[in-house]
Amino acid sequence: MLQINLLPGAINEIMASVAKSGFLTKSDCYGLMAAVLDESLSSEDLCTVKRLSYFVFRGWVRVE
């Protein structure tokens, strides 16, 4: 089984990139998917992932 490890600060980096550009890239989506599957996320990182998914749901952020 392939194990995916997140880089420290990856979630915050994705959030900063989305705030600057208004887009989620395909690699950002894979990073968020890995974050959701990682069971050792902090509550702050989990809140950030939920916030990003809400932004996409509302149409405020587009997926490229």
Global pTM reads 0.80
3-state DSSP assignment of residue 38 = coil
Q: Are 24 and 64 in contact (CB under 8 A)?
A: yes
CA–CA gap between residue 47 and residue 35 (Å, rounded): 11
Question: Which pLDDT score, from 0 to 100, does residue 1 have?
Answer: 60
Say if residue 21's pLDDT is above 90.
yes
Which class for 32: exposed (0-12), middle (13-18), buried (19 or more C-beta within 10 A)? Answer: buried
Question: Which pLDDT score, from 0 to 100, does residue 9 have?
Answer: 81
| C-alpha torsion sign, points 34, 7, 47, 28 | negative
CA–CA gap between residue 17 and residue 9 (Å, rounded): 12
26-64 pLDDT tens trace = 988 888 888 888 777 888 988 999 999 999 999 999 998
